Amino acid sequence: MALRALISGVTGQDGSYLAELLLYKGYEVHGIARQTSQQNVTRVEHIGGQITIHHGDMTDYARLQEIVHRVKPDEVYNLAAQSHVHVSFEQPLYTTQVNAVAPVAIMNALRECNRNGKFYQAATSEMFGAVTNDLQDEKTPFHPRSPYACSKVAAYYQTMNYREAYGLWACNGILFNHESPRRGEMFVTRKITRAATRIKEGLQDNLVLGNLNAQRDWGFAGDYVEAMWLMLNAEKPEDYVIATGCTRSIMDFLEEVFRYLELDWLKLVVESEMFKRPSEVNYLCGNAIKARMKLDWKPKVSFKELVRLMVDSDWEIAKAEKQGKTLPPIKPYWLPQAD
């Protein structure tokens, strides 16, 4: 009998890649997605007939528990979040409700309906915040610098507590920044690739950004969801940092994108105070040696390959927009592409 997985946030970047991976591995896949008047299911349209979607809001805790009891999953991947740092300053209460309280509702329901079930919590490198050391690993103290990061720290410790207090197989994946062609357009990397390709096609004049000197450890989302699966299939539940170990600035990302498109970013990019955070996280770089040693995990896609994947995808979109054509469909990653 196939293992049954439940993914919250299945229509997001990570959720769509993970759903593909689990289907590839023979799982029965269920997902939780918010029902809205403008439901965005673009990222899972290519696998829509192969997964079961349960509608539920992450602030409706009774509904979340109902879904878990109905599905009785062997594995739960909690990927849903209010994950935009800038928005978290504007909506701190909502961010906390979604990111810190919802995981508790899900873990409690899993403990009630399947004590052998496994739980994965999507933690984040933003929890480290104002770091004082060059590399962050599982022992680095947290110093969150946003409501988003604070809410994730709370969920991290709740996950640890359910593991230690109740014996639930529960683990945290402390994932550093991971991007892809499926990244939301409000996030800086995708904002850059979308704008740059639109500028290349004459659809946009310039790009306005915030702090160009912020440095991040960027990897590919497809690699990182594989790490999630490996965590839930390890000998015992533990928390892991997932990262490339290399850091680059937003300016570096800009240069790589615009160089690939043969554009001069210095003439086309404007830095604005409007997009800067009340408190900045200037530097993050992860040490994933534990994941390498215990999970045999390492990133496969390089920084340059990641940039080109994103630019090529958004360039296709920009060309379709220019010609008034239908936007190109999502390209499968783990599953065979349809003819």
Distance CA(220)–CA(302), nearest Å, equals 8
- Could you write out the DSSP letters of every residue in 140-175? SPP---SHHHHHHHHHHHHHHHHHHHH--EEEEEEE
**Please, is 91 exposed, middle or buried when counting C-beta atoms within 10 Å of its C-beta (0-12, 13-18, 19+)?**
middle
Catalytic (active site) residue 148: yes
Q: Which of 17, 148, 162, 260 is catalytic?
A: 148
75: tokens are 């594995």
**Please, is 161 exposed, middle or buried when counting C-beta atoms within 10 Å of its C-beta (0-12, 13-18, 19+)?**
middle
Q: Which residue has the tokens 């109902």?
A: 66
Q: Which residue has the tokens 């937003």?
A: 250
- Could you write out the DSSP letters of every residue in 31-61? EEE---TT---GGGGGGGGGEEEEE--TT-H
Read off φ and ψ for residue 220, nearest 5 degrees: -100, 130
Q: Which of 126, 179, 226, 256 is catalytic?
A: 126
Distance CA(255)–CA(253), nearest Å, equals 5
- Spell out where the chain has E strands: 4-8, 28-33, 51-55, 75-78, 118-124, 169-175, 178-179, 207-209, 215-216, 219-220, 240-242, 248-249, 269-271
Catalytic (active site) residue 126: yes
Q: Beta strand 169-175 with 240-242: parallel, antiparallel or unpaired?
A: parallel
Catalytic (active site) residue 166: no
Q: Which of 11, 95, 96, 124 is catalytic?
A: 124
Catalytic residues: 124, 126, 148
